[in-house]
Structures are given as structure tokens and as C-alpha cells.
Structure 1
């Protein structure tokens, strides 16, 4: 009985130390293109960069891709209609930890170039 109480107390103390991992901060960019085209080109950019598309849902405008080589990033893509165009949002994690959003800028720049919207 005493042992069970001590184990329970220890479990409660350790549970209080656990912290939640913050959600990754997204990097967003608006495009003057149809949401379907933006998502399709985003998947093409990721595939060309060595990512494996794990899930994609065109109706919801969402996709998930994982880098097939080290360091093993995971990128989540969300594309939503916005006015006459679309807004793409990318976020990335590595080992469950969020990555700085500026690492996604090259992917967004390439997406913009492929859509013919680069400055």
C-alpha cells in the first residue's frame, strides 16, 4: 500500500514537469492564382526538393510532406481561398519540434516563381 502511494506521488510530480511542444509558426504568402493550382504547384516544389508527399487532400487544401533525407523535416501545407486568389501557409517541424519559419522562404519563393508571380 505504501509503495503504491509513493509510486503515485512520484508519477504526479513527474507529470507536472511535462511541457507541451509549441505549435510551429507558419509562413504565409498570398497568390493571385486558384487555390487548386497553388496546392498542386506546392506539391511539385516539395517533390522536386526531395520531400515525400505523405498526405494530400485537394478538397481541404492541405498536404503533409517529409524530407526523405537528413535532417528529416516535415512540412505542412495549407491553401485557402482568399479573394480572387489563394493564401498558402507552410509550417515545418523536425523531430516534433517547430522549425523557424524563415527556413520556408526558399520554398515559397520557388512556388511564387513556378506560378509566374515572382517579382
Structure 2
């Protein structure tokens, strides 16, 4: 009986660990700039803020960067669009858990400023 109780208690404990993480919606913003310029501005803003770009693919419009100091933030940037219009989407995690989208607003404002300097 004691064994059954321990097994039941252990399974309940492990089931609590297996709950799925809720996914926050990404923060999106439209720009009146070409997707390539928007992706380049995203990389420059992230690097200026202490992020290290781990992966970037201009053809896919994707960029992944991690914060170089503690706590280890990870930012995923996706850029889509055609011609002189683009949409940038930012999502961030820390330790595998999603960060609230409003934490990315400062980066989006800096991207707008960076793109404005190129005009």
C-alpha cells in the first residue's frame, strides 16, 4: 500500500512538471522600409544592446540573438514583406519561458530610429 501511495505521489509530482508553457504572441510592427534593411537594422540594434547574433538568414528573414550576460535572454526576429514594406515580429524567451511582448517595445523603437537614420 505504501508503495502504491509513493508511486501515485511521484506520478502527480511529475505530471505537474509536464504542464505546457503558454506561448506569448510576438510583438509586431510594420515599417515603410525594405525587408533587408529592416533585418539589418534589427541586427545592429540587438548588437548595440549587448546581444550576440547566433543565426541570421536574410533569405528567410530570420535572426536569432542571445543576451551576452546574465540573464540569458533569447530574441527571435522574423521579417517579412515586399518592396518597400516590411513587418517585423519579435519574440523573446528567458530560460525557455516566454517574456511578455511589451519588454520588446524599446527594441522596436530603437529599430525605428535606426531605420530613420538611413534615410
Alpha-carbon distance in structure 1 between the residues aligned to 2:74 and 2:87: 20
Distance 1:65 1:93 in 2: 11
Contact 1:25 1:98 in 2 (8 A): no
Paired residue for 1:116?
116
Contact 1:38–1:88 (CA under 8 A) maintained in structure 2: yes
Q: Cα distance, 1:11 vs. partner? A: 7.6
Separation in 1 of the partners of 2:12 and 2:105? Answer: 42
- Whether the 8 Å CA contact 1:24–1:97 is kept in 2: the answer is no
Counterparts of 1:15 and 1:59, CA distance in 2: 42
Q: Which residue of 2 aligns with 1:77?
A: 77
- In 1: Cα distance, 2:54 partner to 2:15 partner: 34
Number of matched pairs: 114
Shift of 1:86: 0.2
Q: Which residue of 2 aligns with 1:87?
A: 87
Alignment of 1:18-97 (within 5 A): 18-81=18-81, 84-97=84-97
Q: Quick one: distance in 1 between partners of 2:58 and 2:10?
A: 44
Structure 1, residues 69-101: CA drift from partner, whole Å, max 9, x if none? 122211000000057400000010000001011
Give CA-to-partner distance per residue, 1:50-71, whole Å, 9 cap, x none.
0000111110000100000122
TM-score of the two chains, using structure 2 as the length reference:
0.83
> 1:33-64 deviations in whole A, cap 9, x for unaligned?
00000001100000010000011111000010
Indicate the RMSD between aligned Cα atoms, in angstroms: 2.2
